[in-house]
Amino acid sequence: MSRQQRRIGLTGGIATGKSTVGALLAARGLPVLDADQFAREALAPGSAGAHRVLERFGEPVRAPGEGERSAAAIDRGALGRIVFADAGERRWLEQLVHPLVRARFVAELKRLRQEPVVVLMIPLLFEVGLEEICSEVWLVDCGEEQQLQRLMEREGLAEAEARRRIAAQWPLARKRALADVVIDNGASPSALPGQLENALKRCGPVTQG
């Protein structure tokens, strides 16, 4: 029989506080695999992914700079404005990046196979079907208006643009119904450690195939 490993899928909506929760879990010594980091690496300057993006969108998404490496760098803000305004372009980008991110998860889980618990921080976990590689799913939650205000403040977005980005993901209500654990990040940050402690005690490990 394979040894047991607990794989916590950590998800939520944009600006609900996934990174905060991930940092708290990492501070406890748990390995945290970050889908956003893997996506950034997939589009790193000079990468095959970056070249594909630049071939499709051209100068409007090219980051300013000098040298060969800078010539193949992406202005992520400009790219975001394009793909969040056009569902077709967003699907194209997702079809490029998501397989690369999934492959990284598979490789990292293989590397960490001796760890008893691994956290997989995946904003679009349900949207792309990655719950299948998790033993349980934790949703970082907050109120919809609070989410909107946080996103506007964090990214410096107008309300219409922030709402468009939120609408590109599943609604929080839909995710709540599918999550094993809901972490309320709508109140004081001081309440988070206790919630995480309870959640870690709540579910046990499962057999890894």
Total domain count, the chain:
2
Residues 15 and 77 in one domain: no
Position 187 scores a pLDDT of 81
The full 3-state SS of the chain, as one line of letters, equals CCCEEEEEEEEECCCCCHHHHHHHHHHCCCCEEEHHHHHHHHCCCCCHHHHHHHHHHCHHHECCCCCHHHHCCECHHHHHHHHCCCHHHHHHHHHHHHHHHHHHHHHHHHHCCCCCEEEEECCCHHHHCHHHHCCEEEEEECCHHHHHHHHHHHHCCCHHHHHHHHHCCCCHHHHHCCCCEEEECCCCHHHHHHHHHHHHHHCCCEECC
Position 209 scores a pLDDT of 38
Residues 107 and 195 in one domain: no
Which range of residues forms the domain containing residue 8? Answer: 1-31+115-209
Residues 24 and 10 in one domain: yes
Q: Bridge-partner residues for 119, per DSSP?
A: 8, 32
Where the chain has pLDDT below 70, the residues are 1-3, 66-71, 203-209
Tokens of residue 93, six digits: 């980008």
State pLDDT tens for residues 97-115.
Answer: 999 999 999 999 999 999 9
Position 208 scores a pLDDT of 41
User: What does residue 171 show for φ and ψ, rounded to 5 degrees?
Assistant: -65, 150
Q: Bridge-partner residues for 137, per DSSP?
A: 9
- Cα 75 from Cα 77, distance rounded (Å): 6
Instruction: Single out the residue in 111, 131, 165 at which a domain terminates.
Output: 111
Position 207 scores a pLDDT of 36
Position 4 scores a pLDDT of 82
Residues 82 and 149 in one domain: no
Instruction: Single out the residue in 76, 96, 111 at which a domain terminates.
Output: 111
- Rounded (10°) angle between helices 48-57 and 87-111: 180
State pLDDT tens for residues 141-179.
Answer: 999 999 999 999 999 999 999 999 999 999 999 999 999
Residues 82 and 59 in one domain: yes
